[in-house]
Amino acid sequence: MNLIQAIRTIPDYPKKGIMFRDITTLLGDAEAFRHAVDAMVDPFRNAGITKVAGIEARGFILGGAIAHQLKAGFVPLRKRGKLPGETYTVEYALEYGVDAMEMHRDALIEGERTMMIDDLIATGGTALAAVDLLRRAGAEVVAASFVIDLPDLGGAKKLEQEAKVPVSTLVTFSGH
């Protein structure tokens, strides 16, 4: 199956010059959604993963399905102020400012083999912050998986080189 055909591109969103890769069309196509989840699971089926961590919001959709197939628990990585319990917080730089991501302090047990999930990796800033957050909680981050890689922005390479996390992606798009 050609997943690229299931992904909608929206020009000039959220700002002029950006080609936004929208996976909601992939999620709405039962065959494409199943194929994407299976393809994200297959390389890690026997990796002993006990937790899947999904980055808000599309990482929740993919991560929940992947956790189910791996018979693993799911850990939501959320924007600041969205979780009710005691949290770990990490701040990270955006193009114009700073954002923060949180997870519950009791979401992981020290040493749990964890896989991180999101829909897309671009510059890698959010993914690096997520790995930092998971490691603060004691996770062994064994893999990161994304539907889309924008290799021209270098995020997957940065995650592999700086954080030493193997990265798996399903499709690539050139440019932004």
pLDDT in tens, 14-37: 889 889 999 999 999 999 999 999
Binned at pLDDT 50, 70 and 90, residue 176 comes out as low
Mean pLDDT of the chain: 95
Strand partners, 41: none
Active site annotation includes 8 = no
Mean pLDDT, to the nearest integer, of 146-167?
A: 97
**Average pLDDT over every residue of 121-148:** 96
SS3 per-residue string spanning 59-93? HHHHHHHHHHHHCCEEEEEEECCCCCCCEEEEEEE
Please, what is the angle between helix 58-70 and helix 30-41, to 10°?
Answer: 60
Domain ranges of the chain: 47-172
Model confidence, pTM:
0.95
Q: Active-site residue 45, yes or no? A: no
Catalytic residue among 8, 56, 95, 110: 95
The CATH code of the domain at 47-172 is 3.40.50.2020
